[in-house]
Amino acid sequence: MALTEPRISDVEIISTPGPVLDPEIAADIAKFRTVLDGYLAGDVDEDTFRVFRLTNGIYGQRQGGRNQMVRVRVPYGAISANQLDTLGFLVDNYSRGWGHITTRQNLQFHYVQLEQVPEVLEHMGAVGLTSREACGDTIRNVQGCHLAGACPFEVLDISAWAEAANNHFLRNPLGQRLPRKFKINFSGCATDCGQAMFNDAGVIAVTRTLDDGTVEAGFRVFVAGGLGTSPHPALALEEFTPKEELLPTLESILRVFEQTGERDNKLRARMKWVVDTLGWEETQRRILKTRKFLLASATWPGGIPAEVLAAGDAPAGLGAGATPTAVGQGVAVSLRSNSAYAKWESANVVRGVAKGTVSAYAWCELGDITAAQFRGMAAIVRKYAVDVRLSNRQNFIIRDLDETQLPSLFDDLIELGMAEPGAELSRDVVSCPGADTCGLAVTQSRGLAKSISEALEAEGLADIGGVRFNISGCPNSCGQHHIADIGFFGAERRAHGQSAPGYQMLLGGHVGQEKIHFGDKALRLPAKRAAEASVRVLRRFVGEREAGEAFRSWMDRVGGAREIAKGLKDLDEFPTPEADPSYYIDFDEAGPYVAEVGQSECAT
């Protein structure tokens, strides 16, 4: 079925910037123009401009020159039809024809020329989008569960709470020159689809029973989680945080970080290192003491935020007599038929909410969205009068659908190339951009992701549910390899006197139920053998798992990652360059592998 709904024309988008801009966005753009002019004229030095540019969400690329990545801040993944149309225009006219969903619910696009950035920011600002504080030593995009308000298991709809946190901290003077980046995350229930357990401040909606027997909904706030080269699990600040205290609690965590975070050594400048230095009890004491006296602040953020009072936070609820579709890591998805529609409906549709609506995933391979797909998704939003959000597994989820709309929607997604039954299936491989554009990456992680996906398809394993693959092009975990069932991070290997692309395989990562397991190291592999290793592990899991058994439980039962690795040791062999030169060429490259590591703007 063709998408015939009207969309914003390119002419309309071009004519919009200027008078309709939000005053704060307009001020940001005006300042960017002024500072950019000063930089190009030689009046602003390189280091000063870099810090300024990053705070405004503009990254340099490994290609150097004037090539820039623009990262768009999308709080809790919520995005409108007009914004989607605008992004389609921008990737067509300023980038390379496609954009990318990140694992933190941002959207980003590459190869924007530095001199064109102000124009891009104006087009974005015309539809309420900003790149402000999407990068740099700031409070990054506030994440939230993509199913918030549409999940049958949620305690609270955290959408308005994430909106309130974003509005409170964006451009907040407390967060402009932090020791390092600071990340906030919301989940509506213990399933933790928002992944609160590895953030600087992670929020999970919970309940408590009062003395009179009534049940109060509120939050449990976790502190000082993180991935990177040294992953740390988040720690619960207190058993229960009342709604009225949530924003003061988040601000108090931020204030302690701003006051005590390491400013001389960037490698130890995150909140997790504050705990490592002060100890948990002292960190906890300082946060709670700061909150106690925050009432004296001129900008005390206590009480129920205006955003929550306006939009509400009531949970979607469990439909009477409904059997809800389960969500989250480790949940097995059962494909009940061989028909394309039935497979998609089984894997990509979430049901069970009291209001009777359903949600459906639109699969974005490797998190990429073409200009046509941006515009097509905008047309879907208008055609079906629905809400759409970005997921932290780099897909769209279309919410507030009626059951009768699903067949038509499926046809529309087929036309857009987004109808694969990918959500929560093994084919849904997550990857960072890797050496395609990142200066810190040492491998082409996107190429490996595609290779694994193709190998799983060829082996008939792409439809296996409850197993997640995540890949990073370096140890820093932008691809979140630590929390995948099967994860990889890129590493240079040496064989027969030459450099070669390689990966460290990790097994058994998991986040959920207010717990986190970081993946255990299995073995190192040549890049060209990582896909085969993935097939072997997944095939063994499918053959040996007990009914309903999760990957981590199976792994522990059969002896752990090292034991599984014994069956893969034959793959960790390099032929000589003469016998097979492909081992010494990375995915998507034509020449010999070279581990070129530049300055990491992601790490600055």
Domain boundaries, the chain: 155-311, 340-416, 430-584
Per-residue model confidence (pLDDT) at position 544? 97
Q: How far is residue 411's CA from residue 118's CA, in Å, rounded to a whole number? A: 38
Per-residue model confidence (pLDDT) at position 422? 76
Q: Is the separation of the CB atoms in 518 and 536 below 8 Å? A: no
Per-residue model confidence (pLDDT) at position 125? 98
Q: Is the separation of the CB atoms in 456 and 534 below 8 Å? A: yes
Binning pLDDT at 50, 70 and 90, where does residue 334 land? Answer: low
Binning pLDDT at 50, 70 and 90, where does residue 62 land? Answer: confident
Average pLDDT along the chain? 92
**Nearest Cα residue to 574 out of 539, 531, 532, 526:** 526
Binning pLDDT at 50, 70 and 90, where does residue 49 land? Answer: very high
Q: What is the DSSP letter of 77?
A: G
- Say if strands 469-472 and 430-431 run parallel, antiparallel, or are unpaired: parallel
Per-residue model confidence (pLDDT) at position 338? 75
Average pLDDT over residues 13-29: 72
Q: Map residue 66 onto helix, strand or coil.
A: coil
pLDDT above 70 for 333 = no
- Which residue matches tokens 């909904």? 217
Q: For 415-458, how does the pLDDT look when each residue is reduced to its tens digit (9 = 90+)?
A: 999 999 877 789 999 999 998 888 889 999 999 999 999 999 99
Q: Name residues whose C-beta falls within 8 Å of residue 586's C-beta, 6 or more positions apart in sequence.
A: 435, 443, 444, 447, 501, 527, 593
Q: Is the separation of the CB atoms in 102 and 147 below 8 Å? A: no
Binning pLDDT at 50, 70 and 90, where does residue 15 land? Answer: very low
β-partners of residue 493 are: 500
Per-residue model confidence (pLDDT) at position 19? 46
Q: How far is residue 176's CA from residue 73's CA, in Å, rounded to a whole number? A: 16
Tell me the backbone φ, ψ of residue 428, rounded to 5 degrees.
Answer: -80, 70
To the nearest whole percent, how much of the chain has pLDDT over 70?
93
Which helix (H) or strand (E) is 482 found in, with range? none
Domains 155-311 and 430-584 share a fold: yes
Q: Map residue 260 onto helix, strand or coil.
A: helix
Burial of 174: CB neighbours in 10 Å, binned 0-12, 13-18, 19+: middle
pLDDT above 50 for 18 = no
Tell me the backbone φ, ψ of residue 72, rounded to 5 degrees.
Answer: -95, 125
Q: For 94-138, how does the pLDDT look when each residue is reduced to its tens digit (9 = 90+)?
A: 999 999 999 999 999 999 999 999 999 999 999 999 999 999 999
Average pLDDT over residues 221-243: 96
Tell me the backbone φ, ψ of residue 502, rounded to 5 degrees.
Answer: -145, 175
pLDDT above 90 for 324 = no
Which helix (H) or strand (E) is 447 found in, with range? helix 445-458
**Nearest Cα residue to 439 out of 59, 115, 169:** 59
Q: Name residues whose C-beta falls within 8 Å of residue 64's C-beta, 6 or more positions apart in sequence.
A: none
Average pLDDT over residues 344-366: 93
Q: For 85-104, how does the pLDDT look when each residue is reduced to its tens digit (9 = 90+)?
A: 999 999 999 999 999 999 99
CATH superfamily membership of 155-311: Sulfite Reductase Hemoprotein, domain 1 (3.30.413.10)
168-172, 315-319, 383-387: range with lowest mean pLDDT: 315-319
Cα 135 from chain centroid (whole Å):
14
Average pLDDT over residues 332-352: 81
Average pLDDT over residues 526-547: 97
Binning pLDDT at 50, 70 and 90, where does residue 336 land? Answer: low
Q: For 565-576, how does the pLDDT look when each residue is reduced to its tens digit (9 = 90+)?
A: 999 999 999 999
pLDDT above 90 for 604 = no
Per-residue model confidence (pLDDT) at position 602? 57
**Nearest Cα residue to 453 out of 420, 412, 478, 476:** 420
Which helix (H) or strand (E) is 597 found in, with range? none
Per-residue model confidence (pLDDT) at position 99? 98
**Nearest Cα residue to 191 out of 205, 177, 180:** 205
Per-residue model confidence (pLDDT) at position 600? 59
Q: From residue 327, give the alpha-carbon distance in Å to each of 147, 160, 221, 332, 345.
A: 9, 21, 22, 9, 14
Which helix (H) or strand (E) is 162 found in, with range? helix 159-169
pLDDT above 90 for 2 = no
Q: Name residues whose C-beta falls within 8 Å of residue 427's C-beta, 6 or more positions apart in sequence.
A: 420, 453, 456, 457, 462, 463
Where does 430-584 sit in CATH, by number? 3.30.413.10
Q: For 461-500, how does the pLDDT look when each residue is reduced to its tens digit (9 = 90+)?
A: 998 988 999 999 999 999 999 999 999 999 999 999 999 9
Average pLDDT over residues 151-170: 97
Per-residue model confidence (pLDDT) at position 309? 98
Q: For 254-289, how does the pLDDT look when each residue is reduced to its tens digit (9 = 90+)?
A: 999 999 999 999 889 999 999 999 999 999 999 999
Per-residue model confidence (pLDDT) at position 330? 53
Q: Map residue 551 onto helix, strand or coil.
A: helix
Binning pLDDT at 50, 70 and 90, where does residue 357 land? Answer: very high
